[in-house]
Structure 1
Amino acid sequence: MGKTEFCAYKASSHHKVLMLLFFVILCLSFFPPLSSSSSLSFDFYTGTCPAAEMMVKDTVRSASDLDPTIPGKLLRLLFHDCFVEGCDASVLLQGNGTELSDPANKSLGGFSVIDAAKRVLEIFCPETVSCADILALAARDAVEFAGGPNIQIPTGRRDGRISLAANVRPNIIDTSFTLDEMAKVFTAKGLSMDDIVTLSGAHTIGTAHCSSFNDRFKLDSNGNLTLIDSSLDRQYAAHLTKMCPSGAIDDSVTVSNDPSTPLLFDNQYYRILLEHKGLFQSDSALLNDERTRNRVLEFANNQDSFYERWAVSFSKLTGIGVKTDDEGEIRQSCSLSNNR
């Protein structure tokens, strides 16, 4: 007997009420409601846009093939989104006073990739896939295309309507932070000390502007290198001063976070930490503190261990402050809220 026939079966009049209730419950189990789940799930778009993840992945692949710096930009974009209002694409909203207007977000990139994926999805699945999911999936795929692990993350995020510049600085990690300062922010997001070490591994790809690290060293009046941060390798510091002269502010100059394999998502980031070549003070802090040093050593010596832990920490990252059901919206354009 097929499902439709089974659900239409009529009970005898003697048991009509009880059997009717039974069959209603049974039919609902065969055909669950189409409304959004109250939480994220791995099959969220199965019935509404089954090719959603493939369309995002194809968009990221094409963009990365044309510009190998795209993966690093997408990963950074996700961090700056999730740490402020949660993973709700609030960082994508444009306008006066939005998160994008804060100087800390001035150098963010990868927006065109998210917009391109959204345009494709709006053609085939209009008003269905959130920008928040697109961003999370795009960052996930970016890691894979940069040589990192292929992992699965649940979907079902909705887009937030609030984006305020005033919320940026209290919630993001500054490159000059100590481990205690980082731990305070991470803990507030439900992330652990292990997550700090693991997610800092995102610095294995991407670039940074001079202003994010040139306070760690300087040149004296005779042109000799004077280290401010003794945890930085002197030869590496000398190299950085040539690229970023002390006191110079040039947004056109960028330096690879990982000088060895800047375009590969690997464990080389942890190896350069052992060489005291972490670009940021927040990088060096991981090696210099006993609470995180052993995990740095582990990841430096075992890339598989880093990849396994990355899958766990990245999943936690993309679950920060997500909005589901009626808490948000599905934007038609990722840069504008629907009510504008």
Structure 2
Amino acid sequence: MRGFGVLVLGLAALSFTITCNGALQTGFYLEKCGENNVEDIIRDVVESRFSKDPTIVAALLRLHFHDCFVSGCDGSLLLNGTDAEKNAGPNFSVRGYDLIDEAKAAVEKACPGVVSCADIIAVATRDAVFMAKGLNYKVETGRRDGLVSSADNVDLPGPSITVKNAIALFKRKGLNKMDMVLLLGAHTVGVTHCSFIGNRLYNFNNTGKKDPTMEASLFKSLSKTCPRIPNDSDSPVALDQTINSTNIVDDGYLRQVKGRRGILQIDQNIGLDALTGDIVRSFVNGPLKNSFQSRFGGALIKMGRVGVLTGKNEGEIRKTCGAVNPKPTSSKTLSF
């Protein structure tokens, strides 16, 4: 994830037992696509991409978060248009749209008009997390696609948001501070760029100095990647500095945060703030040790319930993910 972007689950391989949570279900598409397994179709697409580009896991996690946190998990981020969500500043660097389109084309071929784009995002994200050595949580499906996408509605948290304000934002989405810490744990994969951390390195809070909470060896390393006088490139910086862990879903991010090696300001602050510090420490060497992966899956499921459309009169099942379905043209019968 670039920038910001709990249930303990039984995390055996995905079963086809249908369990319900309101209108969302695990196994929602069972027997809705003939002999085809919808989730297997999506998984094949993700597996093919992941084998060539493991950074897709961070891309899909970010896409999922950015979709859910604007108008709910309704696939509105996927819609094209000059004034659509994807054209708001915080979404300029979101990617993975082509993978969702590829998966949509595959399921449409198997069973047209059955599988929503919003559900494809959720399933594809789960599959990518599993391929990145996370756990194979049981994703819920049954969402319908939204009809509206507006750049004006995009108000996503930036990398320097305070912990207090972040907690308030998550609360408005029905998520608590434990969920927030876990979802920020998606920064266990992916990169940010020097332009997002330059202030922490050289002019924190307009002091002309580095962020005093940054561990010394991390500053030394980052100052080489992101020099005070920048070159022409905005170099990438791994959000989890654990060696060989950039594309692996593990608790490395939380361990880095506890050691004052968080990259973004919000990352470091959740480890220092009294409101969330105990949670971070609990995952690293307290009673929640070794439970990050299972709880991370639970937090993604909980996030996936935000603002969903599930009723037959809500939203639609799009034919393509980038556009709402065309309205049927009415035909008039001429009588003589």
Tell me the TM-score normalised to structure 2 length: 0.84
Normalized per residue, the structure richer in helix is 1
Q: C-alpha distance in 2, partners of 1:242/1:328? A: 49
Aligned counterpart for 2:223 among listed residues 241, 247, 253: 241
Query: 1:151-193, CA deviations, whole angstroms, 9 ceiling, x for partnerless residues?
Result: 0021110111111111112xx2211111011011100000001
The equivalent of 1:156 in structure 2 is: 142
Give the conservation status (yes or no) of the 8 Å contact 2:132–2:248.
yes
Q: C-alpha distance in 2, partners of 1:90/1:143? A: 22
Q: C-alpha distance in 1, partners of 2:98/2:119? A: 16
Aligned counterpart for 2:66 among listed residues 59, 75, 80: 80
Give unmatched runs, 5+ long, in structure 1: 1-36, 220-224
The equivalent of 1:99 in structure 2 is: 85
Query: 1:237-272, CA deviations, whole angstroms, 9 ceiling, x for partnerless residues?
Result: 232232223474967532111121111100011111
Q: Do residues 146 (structure 1) and 132 (structure 2) align?
A: yes
Residue 299 of structure 1, CA deviation: 1.6
Residue 38 of structure 1, CA deviation: 7.4
Residue 232 of structure 1, CA deviation: 1.2
Q: C-alpha distance in 1, partners of 2:309/2:210? A: 43
Partner of 1:84, secondary structure, is helix
Q: C-alpha distance in 1, partners of 2:233/2:325? A: 33
Query: 1:36-75, CA deviations, whole angstroms, 9 ceiling, x for partnerless residues?
Result: x971112321121251111111111110001011111111
Residue 234 of structure 1, CA deviation: 2.7
Give the CA RMSD over aligned residues: 2.1
Partner of 2:26, secondary structure, is coil
Q: C-alpha distance in 2, partners of 1:304/1:164? A: 40
Q: C-alpha distance in 2, partners of 1:303/1:58? A: 33
Residue 213 of structure 1, CA deviation: 2.0
Q: Do residues 192 (structure 1) and 163 (structure 2) align?
A: no
Q: Do residues 120 (structure 1) and 106 (structure 2) align?
A: yes
| Aligned-pair identity (%) | 39
The equivalent of 1:8 in structure 2 is: none
Q: C-alpha distance in 1, partners of 2:263/2:137? A: 27
Q: C-alpha distance in 1, partners of 2:220/2:208? A: 9
Residue 97 of structure 1, CA deviation: 0.9
The 5 A counterparts of 1:180-259 are 180-218=164-202, 227-246=209-228, 248=230, 253-259=235-241
Q: C-alpha distance in 1, partners of 2:134/2:27? A: 23
Residue 291 of structure 1, CA deviation: 2.1
The equivalent of 1:90 in structure 2 is: 76
Residue 95 of structure 1, CA deviation: 1.1
Q: C-alpha distance in 2, partners of 1:153/1:106? A: 27
Q: C-alpha distance in 2, partners of 1:140/1:129? A: 16
Residue 236 of structure 1, CA deviation: 1.3
The 5 A counterparts of 1:14-93 are 39-49=23-33, 50-93=36-79
Work out the number of aligned pairs and report it. Answer: 298
Measured at CA, do residues 244 and 59 of structure 1 come closer, stay the same or move farther in structure 2, by a change above 3 Å? same
Partner of 1:290, secondary structure, is coil
Residue 285 of structure 1, CA deviation: 1.1
Moved more, 177-186 or 227-236: 227-236
Measured at CA, do residues 161 and 45 of structure 1 come closer, stay the same or move farther in structure 2, by a change above 3 Å? same
Partner of 1:291, secondary structure, is coil
Give the conservation status (yes or no) of the 8 Å contact 1:42–1:154.
yes
The equivalent of 2:16 in structure 1 is: none
The equivalent of 1:339 in structure 2 is: 326
Moved more, 250-259 or 142-151: 250-259
Give the conservation status (yes or no) of the 8 Å contact 1:60–1:142.
yes
Give the conservation status (yes or no) of the 8 Å contact 1:179–1:282.
yes
Give the conservation status (yes or no) of the 8 Å contact 1:266–1:303.
no
Q: C-alpha distance in 1, partners of 2:233/2:93? A: 8
Give the conservation status (yes or no) of the 8 Å contact 1:331–1:337.
yes
Partner of 2:221, secondary structure, is helix
Give the conservation status (yes or no) of the 8 Å contact 1:209–1:251.
no
Residue 295 of structure 1, CA deviation: 1.4
Partner of 2:70, secondary structure, is coil
Aligned counterpart for 2:315 among listed residues 305, 310, 328: 328
The equivalent of 1:319 in structure 2 is: 305
Measured at CA, do residues 105 and 122 of structure 1 come closer, stay the same or move farther in structure 2, by a change above 3 Å? same
Tell me the TM-score normalised to structure 1 length: 0.83
